[in-house]
Amino acid sequence: MSGGVSTDMVALIVFIIFFGVTIVAGSTVSRWRGRLSSNKAPEKAVQSGGHGAEDWGLGGRQFGAWVTWFLVGGDFYTAYTVIAVPALVYAVGAYGFFALPYTIIVYPFIFVVMPRLWDIAHKAGLGTAADIVRARFGSRPLELAIATSGLVAVMPYIALQLIGIRTVIEALGLPGDVPLVVAFVSLAAYTWFGGLHAPALTAFIKDIMIYIAVIAAVTVIPLHLGGYGHMFAAMNTTLPPPDGEHVLKPAQMAPYATLALSSALAAFLYPHTLTGILAAKSADTIRQNAVYLPIYTIVLGLIAMLGFMAHVAGVDTHSSSLVVPLLFQKIFPSWFVGFAFAAIAVGALVPAAVMAIGAANLLTHNILPSRYDTVNGARVAGLVVKLGALFCVLFLNAQFAIDLQLLGGVIILQTFPPLIMGLFKIRYSSVGMLAGWVIGTLVGLGLCWMDGLKPVHAVPLGGDAPTLISTGLIALIVNLLVVGVVTLAGQLAAGRSGNAAVTK
């Protein structure tokens, strides 16, 4: 891309057109959808979900397989995919590809577990993970714990989406804090007016734009660099330091594997991914999506390659988040740069909206008094969540943008025992679940703080050097141990009490 103000203006105008149209379409969806509903028979209008809090937060639970595929994929593949993964690959090489096996591992988990969760939620009218846990264990403190985890975990994840939008706006040349302000205001308006129907509609737009940008990138950029063969050969001398950082080293294998596993276990515990699941029309819809969603993983692998392409293309930056924008500016004409940047921004806007809505559902359903469980209450709650994400952007000094998502993973993983193990017939103690959550969360956050928000911790497992293990997985293991010990102790105590009563 050639320099100059006029070239920047072309990219900026194209960006504004595509990004602006998406925001307007999402923000006004409830109005024209309301007009369509008013033309239906009265009973069908009621079935469509109306405009109540459940319609705003769960789309009336009426999304079929096609819409659910785009919605779940839209909130699962985010600025994490387009900005953070290539940035990590650019900085550390093959280690950044841990996102590929994790998105493969997660789909069998969805196929087996999520239809069961949907069935429980649908029969009892439950809308959040905390609702499901309350119904299973009958514990208000445990419900609050799960709701708090979801609320806190999703804030750094939304922060990552704000960083994605800010990054492309910065690359267009807007100065100072303007990019972050634009990112926050656009997300706030889009979510406030559109509810879950906004991302459900615009996920179609987002995916089409992303696919166009990615297909162009993985076709044109390698041709510009002399082909894939030349590009891979050039990596040996291009990547710093010149010892083949693109090859996974022995010391990186344990963190690579454990990050993939912990990310897979955490992926569909988040409020936004679970919201997409609970908004589905049926359990079969979820199973169908588990079969077809791996198509997105192919795209993820191609996007991750952009980190390597940036090195070979000579992109040099101290801000890893700018890797993909700078690469596009270097290779493509300004009009396509504007389109690609809009695709990235929309790719962050759609999932950020679902994240804010999922967190708002937790606030209004499970934390605040029931009188706040209204459309306006949910809207205000969503705005509060987005403000929390903004503070994460401003005050969490993560080395890589992806670390914000992985920090959220450490927190949300601690909800795995009550939410997933609670599906089994084994009777776990609610006290044990709560104790495991408390200790697991404290251990996970403590290790993250000690390690400067890095998602792995050094564990002495023998050998010449400590082994790096996913912090979230370490905390989850501690959590499970505490759950087992406390549950067993409670059963033994109950057994002794029963024997004493029989003896008397």
Q: What is the CA radius of gyration of the chain?
A: 23
For residue 336, what pLDDT is reported?
A: 94
Cβ atoms of 33 and 361 closer than 8 Å: no
Which pLDDT band, with edges at 50, 70 and 90, does 484 fall under?
A: very high
Rounded to two decimals, the pTM is 0.80
List all residues 6 or more positions away from 153 whose beta carbon is below 8 Å from its beta carbon. 270, 408, 409, 411, 412
Q: What is the DSSP string of 76-117?
A: HSSHIIIIIHHHHHHHHGGGGGGHHHHHHHHHHHHHHHHHHH
Which pLDDT band, with edges at 50, 70 and 90, does 243 fall under?
A: very low
Residue whose pair of structure tokens reads 């911790």 in the numeric block:
457
Helix (H) or strand (E) holding 169: helix 140-171
Residue whose pair of structure tokens reads 């403590």 in the numeric block:
446
CA 178, chain centre distance (Å): 25
Cα–Cα distance between 299 and 196 in angstroms, integer? 25
3-state secondary structure at position 444: helix
Cβ atoms of 156 and 390 closer than 8 Å: no
pLDDT digits (tens, 9 = 90+) for 14-29: 998 988 888 777 667 6
Q: Hey, what are 167's tokens?
A: 């990054």
For residue 478, what pLDDT is reported?
A: 97
Q: What percentage of the chain exceeds 90 in pLDDT?
A: 22
Cα–Cα distance between 326 and 340 in angstroms, integer? 12
Q: What is the DSSP letter of 294?
A: T
Of 102-111, 122-131, 495-504, the range with the lowest mean pLDDT is 495-504
List all residues 6 or more positions away from 46 whose beta carbon is below 8 Å from its beta carbon. none
Q: What is the DSSP letter of 41?
A: -
> What residue type is 83 in one-letter code?
I
Cα–Cα distance between 468 and 252 in angstroms, integer? 8
The 3-class SS string of 305-325 reads: CHHHHHHHCCCCCCCHHHHHH
237 CB neighbour count, 10 Å cutoff:
10
For residue 471, what pLDDT is reported?
A: 95
318 CB neighbour count, 10 Å cutoff:
5
pLDDT digits (tens, 9 = 90+) for 268-300: 888 878 877 787 888 888 888 788 777 777 778
